[in-house]
Amino acid sequence: MIDMPKVGVIGTGRLGGMIVRGLARAGAVPAESMIIQNRTGEKALKLAREIPGIKVASTPGEVLREAGITFLCVKPQDLAGLLRQTGTRVPGDKLLVSTLLVPYLSRMEQIISGPLARVYPAVVQETGRGVALAAFGRDVPEGRREELKSLMSAFGMTLEIPENLFRLCGDITSCGPAFMAYMIGSLARVAARRGLDPALARQAALETMAATASLLAQKDLGFDSLVDLVATPGGCTAEGIKVLAGGLDEMVDRVFSATEHREAEIDKQLTGL
Ligand SMILES: NC(=O)c1ccc[n+]([C@@H]2O[C@H](COP(=O)([O-])OP(=O)(O)OC[C@H]3O[C@@H](n4cnc5c(N)ncnc54)[C@H](OP(=O)(O)O)[C@@H]3O)[C@@H](O)[C@H]2O)c1
């Protein structure tokens, strides 16, 4: 078991809150070894009431000074303001972990000196499952890498991949939960529109989605193998699959292009860095 340094979280919104709760629930670090801070102080205080023992700092600089590993969980447009408060130097024995969509590490390293990493988690990881992406900057000692990966294992799987694949893989892991919910939700919505009770349609879709994921994992099936298993030739499912095959991949391709385009726009809008 790795001896963990103090863990800090700056920005206790949806994602920062998920990280704090995930670490506490898994016992990855004792509450007394966590220090948090949020621009609207009451949000951090509320989280500290939920998890007694956590220290609430009065400034983000205090978090950076006290924690060995700090998760930065503010929105990209708030980064410049935050750095005006904290300065741009991370001591060599610490690690600053950005969860921000942008800027990428290569740009962060031009602005901030010291050990940097980037993780791209998913809100579904509050269940203890799900996938986060991780990439490390050039100055990160091996020990700190292992500590971060060990912390991240408190809320699911972490894939270390080149940062230029974050957008594409993030469309599966991070935006994916929304895309999957929308697609499965479509089965329930259309069934309800055609007369099924909406609550029953939701329950049927939810349970079937969970069972499908279980079967794929338990039998280590490929997606196409599961389709073949259900879609017997000449049957109803096969007819439905023909309709999906007529355009779903092209639509998903457009979804990926849309997220890529939006990420580039958000990056362009980053000012003051
Ligand atoms: N949500 C997701 O699914 C997800 C997934 C992967 C990555 N991310 C990334 O995670 C980051 C946070 O997203 P989110 O959904 O958690 O947003 P959020 O709910 O708006 O949380 C951001 C938090 O940062 C706080 N903040 C802003 N400036 C600050 C400062 N100078 N000092 C301290 N705290 C400050 C905000 O405080 P206030 O209360 O004052 O607004 C807010 O509580 C984003 O960069 C996003 O790209 C999110």
| 147 and 202 within one domain | no
115 in contact with ligand 1, CB cutoff 6 A: no
137 and 39 in a common domain: yes
pLDDT of 229 > 90? The answer is yes
Query: Is the pLDDT score of 132 beyond 70?
Result: yes
Give residue 187's pLDDT band: very low, low, confident or very high (50, 70, 90). Answer: very high
* 124/121 Cα distance (integer angstroms): 9
Q: Which tens digits make up the pLDDT trace of 84-103?
A: 999 999 999 999 999 999 99
CATH number of the domain enclosing 94: 3.40.50.720
Residues 125, 193 share a domain? no
- Ligand 1 near 125 CB (within 6 A): no
pTM listed for this prediction: 0.92
> Of 108, 137, 166, which residue constitutes the final position of a domain?
166
Could you read off the pLDDT of 57-76 as tens digits, one per residue?
A: 999 999 999 999 999 999 99
Of 166, 195, 212, the residue that ends a domain is 166
Residue 109 lies inside a defined structural domain of this protein:
yes
Same domain for 130 and 255, yes or no, is: no
Residue 2 falls inside a structural domain: no
Query: Alpha-carbon distance 214 to 218, whole Å?
Result: 6
Among 12, 71, 78, 163, name the best residue to mutate to test ligand 1's pocket (greatest count of ligand atoms within 8 A of Cβ): 78
Residue 171 domain flag = no
Residue 29 lies in a domain: yes
Assigned domain for 273 exists: no
Report pLDDT for 3: 79
Residues 151 and 262 in one domain: no
Question: Is pLDDT of 2 > 90?
Answer: no
Ligand 1 neighbourhood includes 84 CB (under 6 angstroms)? no
**CA–CA dist 167, 216 (Å, integer):** 25
Does residue 174 have its Cβ closer than 6 Å to ligand 1?
yes
Check if 120 has its Cβ closer than 6 Å to any atom of ligand 1. Answer: yes
What 8-state DSSP symbol labels residue 206?
H
- Tell me, yes or no, whether 180 and 162 share the same domain: no
**Position 272 confidence tier, pLDDT thresholds 50, 70, 90:** confident
Q: Is 93 part of any domain?
A: yes
Q: What is the pLDDT of residue 20?
A: 95
Same domain, 71 and 197: no
Confidence band (pLDDT; 50, 70, 90) for 7? very high
Best of 74, 126, 158 for a ligand 1 pocket test (most atoms within 8 Å of beta carbon) = 74
- CATH number of the domain encompassing residue 240: 1.10.3730.10
Query: How many domains is the chain built from?
Result: 2
Question: Residue 1: what pLDDT?
Answer: 57
- Measured CA to CA, the distance from residue 224 to residue 226 in angstroms comes to 5
Joined tokens for residue 100:
């921000």
Whether 59 is in the pocket of ligand 1, judged by its Cβ within 6 Å, is no
Are 209 and 114 contained in the same domain?
no
Domain boundary, last residue among 143, 166, 189: 166
Q: Is the CB of 19 under 6 A from ligand 1?
A: no
Regarding the beta carbon of 167 and ligand 1, being less than 6 Å apart is answered no
Based on the fold, state whether residues 247 and 149 are members of the same structural domain: no
Q: What is the DSSP letter of 187?
A: H
| Ligand 1 mutation pick, 73, 119, 123, 263, max ligand atoms within 8 A of CB | 73
Q: How far is the CA of 83 from the centre of ligand 1 (A)?
A: 14
Range of the domain at 194: 176-268
185 within domain boundaries: yes
Q: How far is the CA of 145 from the centre of ligand 1 (A)?
A: 23
Which of 2-6, 31-35, 83-87, 229-233 bottoms out in mean pLDDT, i.e. has the lowest? Answer: 2-6
Q: Is the CB of 131 under 6 A from ligand 1?
A: no
- 141 vs 211, which has greater pLDDT? 211
> Do 149 and 219 reside in the same domain of the chain?
no
Measured at the alpha carbon of residue 121, what is the angle toward residues 130 and 189, in degrees to the nearest 5?
60
33-55: per-residue pLDDT in tens?
999 999 999 999 999 999 999 99
The CA radius of gyration of the chain, in Å to the nearest whole number, is 21
Q: Are both 162 and 180 inside the same structural domain?
A: no
When the pLDDT of each residue in the chain is averaged and rounded to a whole number, the result is 95
CA distance 25 to 127: 10
Q: Contact 67/54 with Cβ under 8 angstroms?
A: no
Tell me how long the chain is: 273
Indicate if ligand 1 lies below 6 Å from the C-beta of 39.
yes
Q: What are phi and psi of 3, to 5 degrees?
A: -80, 110
Whether pLDDT at 199 is above 70:
yes
Say yes or no: 149 and 224 in one domain.
no
